[in-house]
Amino acid sequence: MKVRPEDSLRIENIVASAKVTDYLDLPALASQIKDAEYNKKRFPGVVLRMQNPKIAALVFGSGKVVLTGAKSIDNVGKGLEILGKQLRDLKIDIPKKLTFKIQNIVTSADLATAINLNKIAVGFNLDRIEYEPEQFPGLVYRLENPKVVVLLFGSGKLIITGGKEPEDAKKAVVKILADLRSLGLM
């Protein structure tokens, strides 16, 4: 049985942000947390890598945190809880309930058929498209609703970025399928 493109969606990465406190002493933090990475010359924050779920937390002196690498929204929450516990264990005053805001969801999809990017570039709305095969092998398609960017590749593979919720990727795939069908390209 052939998988429908909108059912082939897979979250590859979720980036979320949170504010855990008003100030963090990064050198102290880096010295107290096992495997913390801190090199002020290279990056202005402490990098904490978690294994389960597999997430990196970028922790800044302002008390802001960026979580990246999660494959599900649940895992973002789990990662933030783990970070909160690590900081509380160091006697840092961290609220019991931490909240995060999703900044970007990167999703992949597969149309399960090769597509002709040249024909798409000619047929789609030109002010929403960038296609320069000498520079990049994919066609960049900026959608308004949902507000995402889709990279289309000749293989039929898609990367959807800029989503704020998982549903955005599904809506984007449905829209692209409709656009391709209306042009007779699928």
* Separation of alpha carbons 52 and 81, rounded Å: 12
Fold of 5-9+104-182: TATA-Binding Protein (3.30.310)
One fold for both 5-9+104-182 and 21-97?
yes
Q: Over the stretch 124-148, which tens digit does the pLDDT of each residue have?
A: 767 889 999 999 999 999 999 999 9
User: Is residue 168 a contact partner of residue 159, using CB atoms and an 8 Å limit?
Assistant: no
Question: What is the structure's pLDDT at 26?
Answer: 95
What ranges do the domains of the chain cover? 5-9+104-182, 21-97
pLDDT number for residue 162: 96
Asked if residue 3 has pLDDT above 70, the reply is: no
Return the closest-CA partner of residue 61 out of 18, 22, 31.
22
Determine which helix (DSSP H) or strand (DSSP E) holds 106, and give its type and residue range.
strand 101-110
Question: Mean pLDDT over residues 153-163, rounded?
Answer: 95
Q: Tell me which CATH code domain 21-97 carries.
A: 3.30.310.10
pLDDT of residue 6: 78
Q: Are 93 and 21 in contact (CB under 8 A)?
A: yes
Residue 103 has a pLDDT of 97
Average pLDDT value for residue range 164-168: 93
SS3 of residue 28 by DSSP = helix
Is the pLDDT confidence value at 1 over 60?
A: no
- What span, in angstroms and rounded, lies between the C-alpha atoms of 57 and 62? 14
Phi, psi of 147 (to 5 degrees): -80, 85
The per-residue b/e assignment along 138-172, b for 16 or more CB within 10 angstroms, e otherwise, is bbebebeebebbbbbbeebbbbbbbbeeeebbbbb
How far is residue 40's CA from residue 55's CA, in Å, rounded to a whole number?
Answer: 21
